[in-house]
Amino acid sequence: MIKEYKISEIKNIKLNGRSTDCLEPYTLFWTGSGFEVNVKGRELWVEIEADYEEQEPWFTVLINGAPVLRQMAPKGSNKICLFRSRNPEEIKNVRFIKDSQAMHDDEKCMLSIHSLITDGVFCSIDERKLKIEFIGDSITSGEGIFGDTKEEDWVSMFFSGVYSYAALTAEKFKADYRIISQSGWGVLSSWDGNTANAIPKYYEKVCGLLTGDRNKKLGATDDYDFKKWQPDVVVVNLGTNDCNAFEMPEFTYTIEDFENEVIMFLKKIRKYNPKADIIWGYGMLGYKMTASITRAVNAYTLETGDKKVHFINLPNTREGMFGSRQHPGLKSHKQAAEVLSDYIMGMI
């Protein structure tokens, strides 16, 4: 008999992504957020709730590691079939992954999970041995992975929480991962010189870059409890948008200001993640900030004595490797994941 279960009623469920303790409903804020279950039954449905003004949320469903569904979330509450007419004796691993990022400019954009409906049972899920947190901009948000190279529209359908270098790196290690990222943002400044749009300013919050009363009620602006999920590795890929800001004649900040922000952000990351290895991986769309970032990392290490902070250049996106919106495509993300994975493998 088919039965509906609230998320709070399901013991064997893995909830992914930085969120609050509220499970009724469970809100997905960041790229890559979602849930994972092992289901033994004939069918499985999910009840979601979504809203938006301009940028609709998108999600992907994987069954046994393979993508079977990718779509935008329709407005309102809807029940969506994840599988049916399957062998009821076989266990199906199901992952629901939010593709689109937190939309800073659309305060109505939201995606929540209310319940799962099945005729089967939820089986246990093995704990993953490694936890990785990724912090970045549009590259880490997976912008441009979907869509033709000629596409220039800024729309949420071109994002991917499944095929970014972050998700691919995590998959190589079968690791739990969380993504904190926002298109156009940087360490000191966004691409257009706005120093309010800097990731470090919001790192302590659940998803503090979101605006509006509803996001506040959902807990986006609450302080995040870092003790709930401690990563083994933190990967930062920021600096690309800061580089663009420095090319604007009216931008009055200096490279020294940028380097100081890098140092302060490293201190903040270390404060909340005392045991993690921190990797600043920069590149994929040029290397103009490499010298500044390496100076800042070295200065941080010299000042603090922290030997668990590293810098690597990620491989540049070459001709034939671009996706939409002049962003790295899947080939570029795959090569970045290879380099980053090899580095992590030699480190852990």
Residue 347 has pLDDT above 90, yes or no: no
Same domain, 78 and 172: no
Same domain, 87 and 223: no
Question: How would you classify the pairing of strands 233-237 and 277-283?
Answer: parallel
Residue with tokens 């969120």: 19
- The pLDDT score that the predictor gives to residue 345 is 92
Q: In the chain, where does DSSP find H-type helix? A: 165-173, 213-218, 240-246, 255-272, 290-304, 330-347
Same domain, 98 and 148: no
Task: For 293-306, write each residue's pLDDT tens digit.
Answer: 999 999 999 999 99
Q: Is 83 helix (H, G, I), strand (E, B) or coil?
A: strand
- The pLDDT score that the predictor gives to residue 54 is 93
Please, is 260 exposed, middle or buried when counting C-beta atoms within 10 Å of its C-beta (0-12, 13-18, 19+)? middle
Mean pLDDT of the chain: 97
Tokens describing residue 251: 């931008």
Task: For 164-189, write each residue's pLDDT tens digit.
Answer: 999 999 999 999 999 999 999 999 99
Same domain, 74 and 135: no
C-alpha–C-alpha distance, residues 214 and 222, integer Å: 13
Same domain, 110 and 240: no
Contacts of 324 (CB under 8 A, 6+ apart): 144, 145, 146, 147, 148, 149, 150, 151, 152, 158
Please, is 227 exposed, middle or buried when counting C-beta atoms within 10 Å of its C-beta (0-12, 13-18, 19+)? exposed
Same domain, 164 and 115: no
Same domain, 241 and 341: yes
Same domain, 22 and 79: yes
CA dihedral sign of residues 7, 8, 9, 15: positive
CATH number of the domain enclosing 321: 3.40.50.1110
Task: For 22-72, write each residue's pLDDT tens digit.
Answer: 999 999 999 999 999 999 999 999 999 999 999 999 999 999 999 999 999
Q: Measured over all CA atoms, what is the biggest interatomic distance in the chain, rounded to whole angstroms?
A: 67
Total structural domains in the chain? 2
Domain that holds residue 232: 131-347
Task: For 191-237, write each residue's pLDDT tens digit.
Answer: 999 999 999 999 999 999 999 999 999 999 999 999 999 999 999 99
Tokens describing residue 25: 């409903």
Residue 1 has pLDDT above 90, yes or no: no
Residue 91 has pLDDT above 90, yes or no: yes
Same domain, 63 and 158: no
C-alpha–C-alpha distance, residues 138 and 132, integer Å: 18
Tokens describing residue 205: 């919050």
Same domain, 151 and 173: yes
Tokens describing residue 255: 């490279």
Percent of the chain at pLDDT > 90 equals 99
Tell me the mean pLDDT in the region 267-274: 98
Domain boundary among 123, 142, 175: 123
What are 72's strand-pairing partners? 58
C-alpha–C-alpha distance, residues 118 and 328, integer Å: 39
C-alpha–C-alpha distance, residues 153 and 143, integer Å: 11
Domain boundary among 97, 123, 149: 123
- The pLDDT score that the predictor gives to residue 348 is 77
What are 283's strand-pairing partners? 314
C-alpha–C-alpha distance, residues 51 and 56, integer Å: 7
Contacts of 297 (CB under 8 A, 6+ apart): 262, 266, 280, 309, 310, 311
CATH number of the domain enclosing 59: 2.60.120.260
Tell if the pTM clears 0.85, that is, is over it: yes
C-alpha–C-alpha distance, residues 243 and 248, integer Å: 9
Domain boundary among 74, 96, 123: 123
Contact 236, 281 (CB under 8 A): yes
